[in-house]
Chain A
Amino acid sequence: MDLFLQQLLTGLANGAIYACLALAVVMIYQAIDHFNFAQGEMAMFSTYICWAMIAGGVPYWIAFFATIVVSFIGGLAIERIIFKPLHNAPVLSHIVVFIGLVAIFNSFAGAIWDHNIKTFPSPFPEGSFGGLIGLHEVGMFFVTLLLLFAIFCFFRFTRVGMAMQAAAANPDSAGLVGIRVGWMLALGWGLAAAIGAVAGMMIAPIVFLEPNMMLGILLYGFAAAIVGGISSPGGAVAGGFLVGIIENMAGTYIPAIGSELKLTVALILIVTVLLFKPNGLFGKTIVTRV
């Protein structure tokens, strides 16, 4: 029973990691209608910026918010400088650029801050609830929910949020009603980068900061976003927790899977959901009028 409870909570804690990054994935998908393969590396780079500020003597919370702002501007700049000229290029060109960005961010982080692992501070107190789950994990759980709430409000109650959805769903009509579609895309990039930065700063205290920190996590983040529904922030968070728990339970109680096939479980989840419920468990079916 003890083992079960521990694995359940560890699954939840891992799920919080996936959910956090899945939110950034959903955010960018809402804006540009693609997955951004460089999302993880951008988040890692933002985390390094925060780490460098803290190492330079800046207090945690100032560094935290400054990093969010810097990341927002960075994301905006990436769209304006790199993707705007590619606006009418085929999807494959975009994917090539995404992969290029992965390599660029990864190599630069390694070149600037070397490849040794770094300790990243947590804003939450140290310790754990009876050895079952760390306080940082609990804190992260709530940060994820808070982030989700903010995103929900942004899309539901603000004009900009709604304009952004319109620009992504139907760029032509959105343009006709006076929405500046190009800037909406840029805004989407900025927000995704900012959310990614929060995810990175929450994840780093658990997995340690290094250039390859997000390599595996992004895969799980994609799994979470797809399982929950790529169009739904709430679904992505639920998907994250589901993936975390299923992965741990399967690894613990199904001997054929064990620790060796844990990653495979995530991939099977992606394929299964795409086959039977392509919009995810919580996603809306989007009908396009022709």
Chain B
Amino acid sequence: MNTGRKLAITFAAVATMGMAATSALADKMYGPGVTDDSIKLGNTMPYSGPAAAYGQIGKSTAAYFDKINKENGGVNGRKIEFISLDDGYSPPKTKEQVRKLVEQDEVLLIFESLGTPTNSAIHNYMNKKKIPQLFVATGATKWGDPENFPWTMGWQPSYQTEGALFGAYIMENVKDPKVAILYQNDDYGKDYVHGLKEYLGDKADSVIVAEESYEVTDPTINSQMIKLKDSGANVFFNVTTPKFAAQAIKKFRELNWDAVFLNNSVSNSVGSVYKPAGLDNSKGIISLMYYMDITDPGNFETEGYKKWSKFMDEYYPDGDKTSAFTAYGYLVGQTMEQVLKQAGDNLTRENIMKEAANLDLELDMMLPGIKIQTGPNDFFPIEAMMPVEFNGEKFNSLGKVVSVN
């Protein structure tokens, strides 16, 4: 009898303790890769191979996490363990590395993985396994499709968004516009054209007077340029990669074509496009930007630049302070930090997605008026950009942000 009572008490005590434990877990909900003092995040980057230049993005993000681990003790008391693996920009390798990150390292999520073909290779896997694939470093439009792929989200303005923003710029700034488009004949080129057409709506047929495509194997795009000029267009919209962009700029000047030159951000680079094409030839080209040009001395005195520059000196001294990639990695790192902050102690994969789709964030290196905003049905974080004009040395802001909203 005595034994029986004792047992009953013990059971009751155990039951109470169990309940207490459950209620403690209700405050702290953890997904894989999370403990009381650490969070594991996974990533793939081309640190080798033809796209190795992009590797700087991963290195600067890693440096940013070093900084917050050291200065703030991580996020909400948990240090960030950033595991970034090399995939050499090869999709099968990406798959292998992501499997390793998910199944062996057991990361909470994958974020900022670089490249369209590489992310496409893991797109289904991530969504089937219900693991967040956040802020992928590519401009394809398909990353913003919460209905079919609720675990994937992009970061930078998508090609389609940018196409639409150029549409907004044209309608606001060019009188009686007649647009001629040169685009690469693949998903990237077509996304831009699609975005522009969707924005123009009924007017697309009358505003767009000529479209020419090229293949990456084409030696030159001269023949296309001649046809486009012949259409009598007063706006030239260039949707090409750096080599063809440099060719297009040269030919544009050679033909003495008197039109507004709009250049897509894929080849909006002084070093790899405007310089080879000739800085004089590149004067007056208009493009869209969303974060500050870190090579422009006019920005050196801003608060955002100073903070970034100090960060670079302390945590990534080998990094190239003239490469936009290092600023990109820093900004995406800050976005991730914000998601983790908002998620608090509820670090399940579901809640991470919920918070990623609940952002309203201003970062000090972004251009004025441009915010990171998401919602349950809006997986496109950046949807506004600033038109800028290249003056032969640097980009001058044209003042008014264009937005599709």
Least distance between A171 CB and chain B CB atoms (Å): 36
* B271 lies within 8 A of A7 (CB): no
Q: Which residues of A contact B243 (CB under 8 A)?
A: 117, 207-208, 210
CB within 8 Å of A: which B222-249 residues: 222-224, 226-227, 230, 242-243, 246-247
CB within 8 Å of B: which A193-252 residues: 203, 206-208, 210, 215-217, 219-220, 247-248, 251-252
Nearest CB in chain A to that of B256: its residue: A131
Q: Which residues of A contact B226 (CB under 8 A)?
A: 3, 6-7, 10
In the bound complex, CA of A89 to CA of B375 (Å)? 65
Evaluate whether A207 and B272 lie within 8 angstroms (CB atoms) in the complex, with A131-B256, A259-B224 already known.
no
**A263 proximal to B (CB < 8 A):** yes
**Interface-located stretch among A11-19, A48-56, A162-170, A180-188:** A11-19
Q: Which residues of B contact A251 (CB under 8 A)?
A: 223
Evaluate whether A17 and B217 lie within 8 angstroms (CB atoms) in the complex, with A3-B227, A6-B226 already known.
no
Least distance between B204 CB and chain A CB atoms (Å): 19
In the bound complex, CA of A10 to CA of B222 (Å)? 7
* B254 lies within 8 A of A117 (CB): no
Nearest CB in chain B to that of A209: its residue: B276
* B272 lies within 8 A of A14 (CB): no
* B213 lies within 8 A of A208 (CB): no
- Point out the residue from A119, A220, A260 that lies within 8 Å of B185, measured CB to CB: A260
Least distance between A249 CB and chain B CB atoms (Å): 10
Least distance between B244 CB and chain A CB atoms (Å): 9
Q: Which residues of B contact A117 (CB under 8 A)?
A: 242-243, 246, 272-273, 276
**A116 proximal to B (CB < 8 A):** yes
**B53 proximal to A (CB < 8 A):** yes
Least distance between A117 CB and chain B CB atoms (Å): 5
* B227 lies within 8 A of A252 (CB): yes
Nearest CB in chain B to that of A248: its residue: B223
Q: Number of A interface residues at 8 Å Cβ cutoff, please give it.
A: 38
In the bound complex, CA of A220 to CA of B246 (Å)? 22
Least distance between A217 CB and chain B CB atoms (Å): 5
**A262 proximal to B (CB < 8 A):** yes
* B218 lies within 8 A of A262 (CB): yes
- Point out the residue from B213, B217, B220, B242 that lies within 8 Å of A215, measured CB to CB: B217
Q: Which residues of A contact B185 (CB under 8 A)?
A: 259-260
In the bound complex, CA of A263 to CA of B224 (Å)? 13
In the bound complex, CA of A258 to CA of B212 (Å)? 8
**A134 proximal to B (CB < 8 A):** yes
In the bound complex, CA of A6 to CA of B230 (Å)? 10
**A87 proximal to B (CB < 8 A):** no
* A119 lies within 8 A of B254 (CB): no
* B255 lies within 8 A of A131 (CB): yes
Evaluate whether A7 and B223 lie within 8 angstroms (CB atoms) in the complex, with A131-B256, A208-B243 already known.
yes
Interface size for chain B: under 10, 10 to 19, 20 to 34, or 35 or more residues? 20 to 34
Evaluate whether A259 and B223 lie within 8 angstroms (CB atoms) in the complex, with A131-B255, A216-B217 already known.
yes
**B50 proximal to A (CB < 8 A):** yes
* B223 lies within 8 A of A216 (CB): no
* B217 lies within 8 A of A259 (CB): no
**B219 proximal to A (CB < 8 A):** yes
* A115 lies within 8 A of B50 (CB): yes
In the bound complex, CA of A82 to CA of B217 (Å)? 29
Least distance between B216 CB and chain A CB atoms (Å): 8
* A259 lies within 8 A of B219 (CB): no
In the bound complex, CA of A262 to CA of B273 (Å)? 25
Q: Which residues of A contact B50 (CB under 8 A)?
A: 110, 115
Q: Which residues of A contact B223 (CB under 8 A)?
A: 7, 10-11, 14, 247-248, 251-252, 259, 262
* A217 lies within 8 A of B212 (CB): no
Q: Which residues of B contact A110 (CB under 8 A)?
A: 50
**A118 proximal to B (CB < 8 A):** yes
Q: Which residues of A contact B219 (CB under 8 A)?
A: 14, 17, 203, 206-207, 216-217, 220
Nearest CB in chain A to that of B218: its residue: A216
In the bound complex, CA of A189 to CA of B115 (Å)? 40
CB within 8 Å of B: which A1-35 residues: 2-3, 6-7, 10-11, 13-14, 17
In the bound complex, CA of A251 to CA of B221 (Å)? 12
**B215 proximal to A (CB < 8 A):** yes
Q: CB-defined interface of A122-164 with B at 8 Å, one 1/0 digit per residue?
A: 0000001001001000000000000000000000000000000
> Which A residues are within 8 Å of any B CB, using their own CB?
2-3, 6-7, 10-11, 13-14, 17, 110, 114-119, 128, 131, 134, 203, 206-208, 210, 215-217, 219-220, 247-248, 251-252, 258-260, 262-263
Q: Can you report 22 A-B residue pairs in the complex whose CB atoms are below 8 A from each other?
A: A13-B222, A14-B219, A14-B220, A116-B271, A117-B242, A117-B243, A119-B276, A128-B254, A131-B256, A206-B219, A207-B220, A207-B247, A208-B246, A208-B247, A215-B217, A247-B223, A252-B223, A258-B213, A259-B223, A259-B227, A260-B185, A262-B215
Instruction: List 7 tightest A-B contacts by C-beta distance, closest first.
Output: A216-B217, A119-B276, A116-B272, A6-B226, A248-B223, A217-B219, A10-B222
> Which B residues are within 8 Å of any A CB, using their own CB?
50, 53, 185, 212-220, 222-224, 226-227, 230, 242-243, 246-247, 254-256, 271-273, 275-276
Beyond A10-B222, A110-B50, A216-B218, 10 additional pairs, beta carbon < 8 A: A3-B227, A10-B223, A10-B226, A118-B276, A131-B256, A134-B254, A206-B247, A216-B216, A248-B223, A259-B223
